Amino acid sequence: MALSETKGPNPQTTLIYLPPAGARELEDKVSYKIGDAPQTPIEISVRPRAPTLDSPNIYDASFKALFVLFILAVLVENGLALLFRWRPFLSYFDSRSTNALVVHHSDYDSLAVAG
């Protein structure tokens, strides 16, 4: 542990907790006093750090997710284009107004199935 004290009209003391070297997961309780009065202990949890942008694993997972989304978008677009050029669809529906409704409905259905 380390203490950091500031001087001036409103002096403050900051208690800095440093976990033991090599600790990956740790539960600890810090007891301290201000003057001679003991204060309520502070519970501390040390957990592994979340991946950051400099972590090499985050790019692999991001690339896989983006690639799957790209392939899915291409398949959905080609499937809907096939439907919109289908002769019975063109003969029964006005393609300008109906295409947006069909796309919206298919997106809603795919989200309902996925989630």
Q: At what angle do helices 56-84 and 95-114 cross, to 10 degrees?
A: 140
pTM: 0.46
Q: Which pLDDT score is estimated for 115?
A: 64
DSSP bridge pairs for 4: 14
Q: Going residue by residue through the chain (115 aa), what tens digit of pLDDT does each one get?
A: 666 777 878 888 787 877 778 777 888 888 888 778 888 888 888 777 766 777 677 788 888 999 999 998 899 889 888 988 888 888 888 777 788 888 888 888 877 887 6
Distance CA 42, CA 17 (A): 11
Distance CA 15, CA 32 (A): 9
- The length of the chain in residues reads 115
